[in-house]
Structure 1
Amino acid sequence: MIVARAPLRIPLGGGGTDLQFYSSRFGGFVLSVAIDNYAYVTTLQPSIEKGIRVKARINEYAENLNDIKNELVRASCHASGVTERLQITFSSDLSDGTGMGTSGAYTVCLMQTLSYLKGKLMDKKDLAEAAAHVELDILRRPIGKHDHYMASYGGLKLLRINKDGSVIVEDPPVTKKTLHELKSYLLLFYTGERRESSAVLSAQRELAEKNDGVRVYEYYHRIKDIGMRIHESLIHSDLIHFGELLHEHWETKRCLAGGVSNPRFDKLYQLARNNGALGGKLIGAGGGGLFLLFVPPSEKERVRSTMYQGGLEEVSFSYDWQGATLSNGFYSPRRSS
Structure 2
Amino acid sequence: MIHRSKAPLRIGLAGGGTDVSPYCDEFGGAILNATISLNAYATIEEIEEHKIILEAFDRDEKEIFEWATMLPLNGHLDLLKGVYNRIQKDYPFEKKGIKLSTYVDAPAGSGLGTSSTLVVAIVGAFAEMLQLPLGEYDIAHYAYDIERKDLQLAGGRQDQYAATFGGVNFMEFYSDDKVIVNPLRIRQRYLDELENNLLLYYTSTSRESAKIIEEQSQNVVKRNQSSIEAMHQLKEQAQLMKEALLKGQLEQIGHILDIGFEQKRRMASGINNQLIDDIYYAAKSAGATGGKISGAGGGGFMIFYCPGNTKYKVIQALEQFGGKPHNYQFTKHGLKTWTV
> TM exceeds 0.5?
yes
Matched letter for residue 273 of structure 1: K
Aligned position for 2:138: 126
Aligned position for 2:165: 153
Tell me, yes or no, if structure 1 residue 310 matches structure 2 residue 321: yes
1:233, 1:241 within 8 Å by CA — same for their partners in 2?
A: yes
Cα distance in structure 2, aligned partners of 1:13 and 1:45: 42
In the TM superposition, what whole-angstrom CA distance separates every residue of 1:48-101 from its partner, at most 9, and x where no partner exists?
1x2322112332122243335332222211221257622111111112110101
Matched letter for residue 52 of structure 1: I
Shift of 1:102: 0.8
Q: Give TM-score, length-normalised by structure 2.
A: 0.92
Aligned position for 1:294: 305
Aligned position for 1:55: 55
Shift of 1:129: 1.4
Matched letter for residue 262 of structure 1: N
Tell me, yes or no, if structure 1 residue 91 matches structure 2 residue 94: no
- Aligned residue for 1:105, secondary structure, equals helix
Out of 108, 118, 121, the residue aligned to residue 109 of structure 1 is: 121
Cα distance in structure 2, aligned partners of 1:26 and 1:51: 47
The alignment covers a number of residue pairs equal to 327
Cα distance in structure 2, aligned partners of 1:194 and 1:61: 28
User: Mean Cα displacement is larger for which, 112-121 or 174-183?
Assistant: 112-121
Tell me, yes or no, if structure 1 residue 254 matches structure 2 residue 261: no
Shift of 1:138: 1.7
Shift of 1:297: 2.7
2:202, 2:323 within 8 Å by CA — same for their partners in 1?
A: yes
Shift of 1:109: 0.8
1:45, 1:87 within 8 Å by CA — same for their partners in 2?
A: yes
In the TM superposition, what whole-angstrom CA distance separates every residue of 1:226-279 from its partner, at most 9, and x where no partner exists?
111111111221111111010110011122324111111101111110110000
Aligned position for 1:14: 15
Tell me, yes or no, if structure 1 residue 75 matches structure 2 residue 82: yes
Shift of 1:112: 1.1
User: Mean Cα displacement is larger for which, 200-209 or 19-28?
Assistant: 200-209
Cα distance in structure 2, aligned partners of 1:316 and 1:290: 12
Out of 284, 299, 302, the residue aligned to residue 295 of structure 2 is: 284
Cα distance in structure 2, aligned partners of 1:54 and 1:143: 24
Cα distance in structure 2, aligned partners of 1:8 and 1:192: 18
Shift of 1:118: 2.2
User: Mean Cα displacement is larger for which, 278-287 or 57-66?
Assistant: 57-66
- Tell me which stretches of 4 or more aligned residues in structure 1 moved more than 6 Å: none
1:108, 1:131 within 8 Å by CA — same for their partners in 2?
A: yes
1:52, 1:68 within 8 Å by CA — same for their partners in 2?
A: no
Shift of 1:121: 4.2
Structure 2, unmatched stretches of 5+, are: none
In the TM superposition, what whole-angstrom CA distance separates every residue of 1:288-319 from its partner, at most 9, and x where no partner exists?
11110000132122111111222111110001
Percent of aligned pairs sharing the same letter? 29
Matched letter for residue 52 of structure 2: I
Matched letter for residue 71 of structure 2: N
Matched letter for residue 16 of structure 2: G
2:293, 2:299 within 8 Å by CA — same for their partners in 1?
A: yes
2:227, 2:266 within 8 Å by CA — same for their partners in 1?
A: no
Alignment of 1:106-255 (within 5 A): 106-210=118-222, 212-255=223-266
Matched letter for residue 82 of structure 2: A
Q: Structure 1 residues 54, 258: CA separation in 2 closer, same or farther (over 3 Å shift)?
A: farther
Matched letter for residue 125 of structure 1: Y
Cα distance in structure 1, aligned partners of 2:71 and 2:38: 32
Q: CA-atom RMSD, angstroms?
A: 1.6
2:7, 2:118 within 8 Å by CA — same for their partners in 1?
A: yes
Matched letter for residue 194 of structure 2: L
Cα distance in structure 1, aligned partners of 2:224 and 2:53: 43
Aligned position for 2:29: 28
Shift of 1:196: 1.6
